[in-house]
Amino acid sequence: MLKKLFGKAKKEPVQMPAADGKDILTAYANGEVVSLSEVPDPTFSEKMMGDGIAIKPDEGAIYAPVHAEVIQMSDSMKHAVGLKTVNGVEILIHIGLETVAMKGEGFKQLVKEGENVAKGEKLIEFDLDLVNEKAESTITPLVITNADDSVSSMEKHEGQQGVSGETVILEITAK
């Protein structure tokens, strides 16, 4: 009872769906969904880390685009999260550009490595104004880091306003 009063109630475990070979990713932030080629950093725009999509966020929150396991969450930097879907697709969401220099300032992690998260669950909160002030850009890419090994096909839905947890942005068929 005291845990409920003080907000320390334990999170209910997320039931992961069965692997079916298809991952439908929804917007991981509210904002404009754009091509990865619009990211003003060659690491992302030239797909050096993998193919994907980007969002120009309207607010400071990142949500799980799909049911997944959190496989990477840097305690010191807090500006990126790595996820792995039940089909083995590995996803990196990187908030803004040159945000590593902020050393976690303005970012709040809401999940930990090893946790399973549900599609639409909030993963990170951040101060959008602070990122806009201190980083090169607020554009937030999502890349599939193991596409060569795990992705058979990927259909992107760019050029739309994304609503986190609702708007489909990527349809991935796993190998």
Residue 148's contacts (CB-CB under 8 Å, 6 or more residues apart) are none
Q: How far apart are CA 128 and CA 112, in angstroms?
A: 22
Residue 145's contacts (CB-CB under 8 Å, 6 or more residues apart) are 49, 50, 82, 90, 91, 92
In Å, what is the CA distance from 82 to each residue of 37, 42, 63, 69, 117?
A: 21, 20, 12, 8, 12
Q: Is 94 tagged catalytic? A: yes
Catalytic residues: 94
